[in-house]
Amino acid sequence: MTTRVRRWLPGLLLVSPSIVLIAVFVYGLLGWNFKVAMTDKHNEIAEIPGNFVGLENFVSIWSEERWGLSVRHSIIFTAVFVGGALVLGWFLAFLMEKGIRGEGGFRAIYLFPMAISFIATGVVWRWLMNSATGERAVGLNRLFGYLGMDFLQWQWFRDPDWGMAAMAVPAVWQMSGYIMALFLAGFRGVPEELREAARVDGCNEWQVYRRVILPMLRPVTLSALIILGHISLKVFDLVVAVSGKQIITDVPATFMWTAVFDAHDPAKGATIAAYIVLSVVIFIVPYLIWNARKGNR
């Protein structure tokens, strides 16, 4: 008996603080959030706990124009950000992998943006992406003006339709170096023998990449997709640093912020928070399942 206890007890004691902390501060508060989201507590100060209303808040929010807009913005941002960072990161890694001189230096340069917070990135890019055009242009629009490429001047994040694509540009700038590092590790993980074998079998260089290396990069790509995807769906700091709380760049997280702190409507804020969590879960759960299956194999 005692020997058996001795086997598992120290280990359990060691991890129990983190189990308790995560249970309370992650899952406990997550559960509380869902509970608030299913009540009619639309007033923060009054001492009403709120009545249970089921999924009413989850349904009614779709009739709000602002919610539809923020979801649309989130989708555009995610598509441009994830796609852009993956393609650019892959391309940079591809160039590195070809054995460029001073690779270490380039690697550091491309990774550096990741050391900056989204807030700092946002403050700088807010200026770069100033939407004034013509004589009053500053930032990138001014650069385009100097270069005689006035046709490239546009409203950036103030463009009513594709503004969120511009918002994704700083995010791509910041994260593509990290994705490059992931892919570079992936490239390096492909044994040289495999490439040689493929070449001996008559593959040209393109086919080596297409048929041998890319399939072997699939796990890396998936990891990158998950990392970028969940950052993108939760994006808040970058948007706030670039444009503050304006509808023109509204995303679910900023909507949640104004619902809670401006309109003082906890139930609506909790509902939006719940949707953000659910959207990330949809991203992550397939990955976890896939990982678990791989582990069992």
Partner 1 sequence: MAAVAVSVASLLTLTACGGDAKESGGGEAAHKKVEVFSWWTGPGEADGLKAMREIFAKQNPDFEFFDAAVAGGSGDQARALLSSKLQANQPPDTFQGHAGAELQGYIEGGKLESLNFLYDELKLKDAFPQQLIDQISVQGQIYSVPVNIHRSNVLWYNPSVLKEAGVDGAPATIDEFVADLEKVKKTGKIPLSIGSQWTVVHLLESVLLGSLGTDAYNQLWAPNADWSSAEVTKALENFKAILSYAGTPQEDWQPAAKQVADGEAAFNIMGDWAYGYFHNPPEGGLGKESHKDFDWAASPGTDGTFMWLSDSFTLPKGAPNRDGAIAWLKVAASKEGQDAFNPLKGSIPARTDADKSLYQDYLSWSLEEWSKDKLAGSIQHGVVANDAWRSAINDAVGLFQQSQDVAKLQEALVSAAKNNNQ
Interaction of residue 75 with partner 1, rule CB under 8 A: no
User: How many residues at the interface with partner 1, by CB under 8 A?
Assistant: 31
Of 45 and 147, the one with the shorter C-beta distance to partner 1 is: 45
User: Site for partner 1 (CB under 8 A): which residue of 1, 3, 8, 47?
Assistant: 47
The distance of closest approach from Cβ of residue 33 to partner 1 in the complex, given in angstroms and rounded to an integer, is 16
DSSP bridge partners of 39: 52
Tell how many helices (H) and how many strands (E) occur in the chain.
Answer: 15, 0
Of 183 and 255, the one with the shorter C-beta distance to partner 1 is: 255
Classified as helix, coil or strand, 39 is: strand
* CA separation, residue 118 to residues 46, 134, 199, 251 (Å): 36, 29, 44, 15
* CA separation, residue 21 to residues 36, 50, 274 (Å): 21, 27, 21
Residue 117: which residues within 8 A CB-CB, separation 6 or more?
Answer: 237
Backbone angles phi, psi at 45, to 5 degrees: -90, -40
Q: Which stretch binds partner 1 (CB under 8 A): 80-88, 188-196, 203-211, 239-247?
A: 239-247
User: Site for partner 1 (CB under 8 A): which residue of 69, 75, 214, 280?
Assistant: 69
Q: How far is CA 120 from the centre of its chain?
A: 17
b/e 149-165 (16+ beta carbons within 10 angstroms → b): eeeebbbbbbeeeebbb
Cα(144)–Cα(13) distance, integer angstroms = 62
Of 47 and 193, the one with the shorter C-beta distance to partner 1 is: 47
Q: Which stretch binds partner 1 (CB under 8 A): 52-60, 232-240, 245-253, 288-296?
A: 245-253
The distance of closest approach from Cβ of residue 143 to partner 1 in the complex, given in angstroms and rounded to an integer, is 17
| Interaction residues for partner 1, span 134-163 (CB under 8 A) | 136, 158, 160
Interaction of residue 62 with partner 1, rule CB under 8 A: no
Of 64 and 196, the one with the shorter C-beta distance to partner 1 is: 64
Question: Are 74 and 239 within 8 A, CB to CB?
Answer: no
Of 170 and 229, the one with the shorter C-beta distance to partner 1 is: 170
Cα(218)–Cα(97) distance, integer angstroms = 17
The distance of closest approach from Cβ of residue 158 to partner 1 in the complex, given in angstroms and rounded to an integer, is 7
User: Site for partner 1 (CB under 8 A): which residue of 189, 210, 264, 288?
Assistant: 264
Q: Which stretch binds partner 1 (CB under 8 A): 1-9, 15-23, 260-268, 275-283?
A: 260-268
Hey, what's the torsion of the CAs at 248, 249, 251, 254, to 10 degrees? -90
State the binding string over 16-45 for partner 1 (x if CB under 8 A, else -): --------------------------xxxx
Residues near partner 1, by CB under 8 A: 42-47, 65-66, 69, 126, 130-133, 136, 158, 160, 243-248, 250, 258-259, 261-265
